């Protein structure tokens, strides 16, 4: 259900206030570590998984609200926004959309309580953008399911009890299952540290049992159904990117007002004023695209428009790269020092043009859709 405006403002206001009071001190210093303390505090205030059903510990609100919460927290602490994005817009969103009652009861409450994360495993060593060529396979024997294959670049695996795994089924179609990460047959092959300090895992599954209730989608139309959840993931990614931009820009504005050169604040120089104005224009446009897609989806049975979603994903990543880079420029040498917030945000934002679909793949999706079916509705 689309949340009432008052309820939304209350929840978003509470998240923003908590972030300012509690998260500001350590913001931009997590270096990829998982911000458990912050997630626990948000959970104590009922602010994790606000778009998940109340019976599983969520708030039963819409994704528009979840995105606003991510942004309200992320303008202060982008790492916490990332944890919230994963908890509300990625695997748990799909479990809520497609999961069995048993799966929802088992997997959603620990997410809303801030106790656990929930990974998503799509990529394989030989199947990145070309997800259709993945080799991970579910086998079925007298109704019992097992899964085998390798997944790579998986985020938050150490923090998760389960992963939503994309796989092929015996009928040849792709679908998704939930894999318990403590089940027999799982082996971690390698852990990589990315340029923001986050750990991404390569793991193997050998005949790992999958209870029937852990199948999320399978069958002929499974891939299409799964794409609905993927659209929410991409809108969440756009929101997270916009939050990083906002954090960078707020830092730059504060510094530009304080720092003096040639006997005046550097914010008086036309060259910097236009930089700040352009960054503001780009960011506000990027936010507007993402929120329009989410608002229209909330009004239309929660089905995000494919073009609007992918435009938001594409644009927000490019805006983040530009805005964070220009914000760093405002700081001069300070912004380039190891440990400075802008240096960290510069590394953090770069993932947004790769994760959840590269710019190139997202462009392909937009082009396919507008060429085949035209542009999105005007109103």
CB-CB contact of 50 with 66 (8 Å): yes
Go through the chain and tell me how many residues it has: 379
d(CA 193, CA 153): 10
Q: Which residue in the shown chain puts its C-beta closest to ligand FAD?
A: 128
**Selected range binding ligand FAD among 93-101, 120-128, 173-181, 208-216, rule: CB under 6 A:** 120-128
Work out whether 355 is an interface residue with ligand FAD (CB under 6 A): yes
Pick 358 or 369: Cβ nearer ligand FAD: 358
**Selected range binding ligand FAD among 20-28, 114-122, 276-284, 341-349, rule: CB under 6 A:** 114-122
Question: Using CB under 6 A, which of 364, 369, 370, 376 touches ligand FAD?
Answer: 364
Q: How far is the CB of 161 from ligand FAD (least distance, A)?
A: 15
Pick 14 or 131: Cβ nearer ligand FAD: 131
**Selected range binding ligand FAD among 61-69, 150-158, 271-279, 293-301, rule: CB under 6 A:** 150-158
CB-CB contact of 342 with 335 (8 Å): yes
Contacts of 200 (CB under 8 A, 6+ apart): 152, 153, 154, 155, 191, 192, 193, 194
Ordered DSSP codes for 158-192: TTEEEEEEEEE-TTS-EEEEEEETTSTTEEEEEEE
> What angle (nearest 5°) sits at the alpha carbon of residue 174, between those of residues 186 and 203?
20
Pick 206 or 360: Cβ nearer ligand FAD: 360
Pick 61 or 361: Cβ nearer ligand FAD: 361
Q: Tell me the two tokens of residue 58.
A: 């969520």
CB-CB contact of 70 with 287 (8 Å): no
Q: Tell me the two tokens of residue 30.
A: 């997590």
Work out whether 154 is an interface residue with ligand FAD (CB under 6 A): yes
Q: How far is the CB of 168 from ligand FAD (least distance, A)?
A: 15
CB-CB contact of 120 with 91 (8 Å): yes
Question: What is the contact mask toward ligand FAD in residues 61 to 100, using x (rule: CB under 6 A)?
Answer: ----------------------------------------
Specify the residue for token string 């934002």.
349
d(CA 28, CA 22): 13
**Selected range binding ligand FAD among 102-110, 210-218, 264-272, 356-364, rule: CB under 6 A:** 356-364
d(CA 27, CA 184): 38
**Selected range binding ligand FAD among 4-12, 27-35, 58-66, 358-366, rule: CB under 6 A:** 358-366
Q: How far is the CB of 89 from ligand FAD (least distance, A)?
A: 13
Question: Using CB under 6 A, which of 80, 123, 267, 365 touches ligand FAD?
Answer: 123
- What's the first-to-final CA gap in the chain, in angstroms? 20
d(CA 232, CA 225): 12
Q: Which of residues 2-41 bind ligand FAD (CB under 6 A)?
A: none
Alpha carbon distances (Å) from 253 to 75, 248, 336, 348: 13, 9, 17, 20
Size of the site for ligand FAD (CB under 6 A): 19
DSSP assignment, residue 3?
P
d(CA 221, CA 218): 8
Q: Which of residues 189-228 bind ligand FAD (CB under 6 A)?
A: 194, 200
Question: Using CB under 6 A, which of 111, 121, 229, 293 touches ligand FAD?
Answer: 121
Q: How far is the CB of 132 from ligand FAD (least distance, A)?
A: 11
**Selected range binding ligand FAD among 30-38, 237-245, 279-287, 357-365, rule: CB under 6 A:** 357-365
Q: Is the dihedral of CA 247, 121, 32, 15 positive or negative?
A: positive
DSSP assignment, residue 127?
B
Q: How far is the CB of 54 from ligand FAD (least distance, A)?
A: 28
Of the candidates 147, 199, 150, the one whose C-alpha atom is nearest the C-alpha of residue 169 is 147
Q: How far is the CB of 355 from ligand FAD (least distance, A)?
A: 4
Q: Which residues bind ligand FAD (CB under 6 A)?
A: 119-123, 128-129, 153-155, 194, 200, 351, 354-355, 358, 360-361, 364
């Amino acid at each position: 259900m689309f949340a009432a405006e008052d309820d939304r403002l209350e929840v978003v206001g509470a998240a923003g206030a908590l972030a300012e009071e509690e998260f500001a001190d350590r913001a931009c210093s997590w270096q990829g570590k998982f911000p458990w303390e912050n997630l626990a505090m948000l959970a104590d205030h009922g602010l994790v998984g606000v778009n998940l059903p109340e019976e599983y510990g969520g708030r039963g609100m819409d994704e528009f609200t979840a995105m606003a919460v991510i942004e309200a927290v992320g303008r202060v602490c982008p790492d916490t926004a990332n944890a919230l994005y994963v908890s509300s817009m990625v695997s748990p969103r799909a479990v809520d959309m497609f999961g069995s009652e048993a799966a929802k009861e088992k997997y959603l409450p620990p997410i809303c309580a801030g106790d656990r994360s929930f990974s998503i495993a799509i990529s394989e060593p030989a199947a990145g953008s070309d997800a259709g060529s993945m080799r991970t396979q579910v086998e079925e024997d007298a109704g019992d399911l097992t899964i085998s294959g390798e997944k790579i670049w998986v985020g938050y695996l150490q923090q998760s009890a389960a992963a939503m795994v994309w796989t092929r089924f015996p009928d040849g179609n792709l679908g998704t299952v939930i894999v318990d990460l403590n089940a027999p047959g799982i082996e971690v092959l390698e852990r990589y540290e990315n340029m923001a300090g986050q750990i991404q895992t390569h793991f193997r599954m050998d005949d790992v049992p999958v209870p029937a209730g852990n199948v999320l989608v399978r069958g002929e139309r499974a891939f299409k159904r799964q794409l609905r959840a993927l659209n929410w993931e991409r809108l969440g990614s756009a929101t997270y990117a916009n939050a990083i931009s906002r954090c960078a820009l707020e830092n730059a504005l504060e510094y530009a007002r304080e720092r003096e050169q040639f006997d005046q604040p550097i914010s008086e120089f036309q060259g910097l004023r236009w930089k700040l104005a352009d960054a503001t224009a780009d960011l506000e446009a990027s936010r507007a695209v993402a929120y329009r897609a989410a608002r229209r989806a909330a009004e239309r049975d929660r089905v995000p428009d494919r073009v609007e979603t992918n435009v938001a994903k594409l644009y927000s990543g490019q805006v983040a790269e530009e805005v964070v880079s220009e914000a760093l420029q405002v700081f001069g040498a300070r912004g380039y020092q190891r440990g400075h917030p802008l240096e960290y945000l510069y590394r953090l934002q770069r993932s947004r043009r790769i994760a959840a679909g590269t710019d190139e793949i997202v462009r392909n999706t937009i082009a396919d859709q507008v060429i085949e079916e035209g542009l999105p509705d005007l109103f």
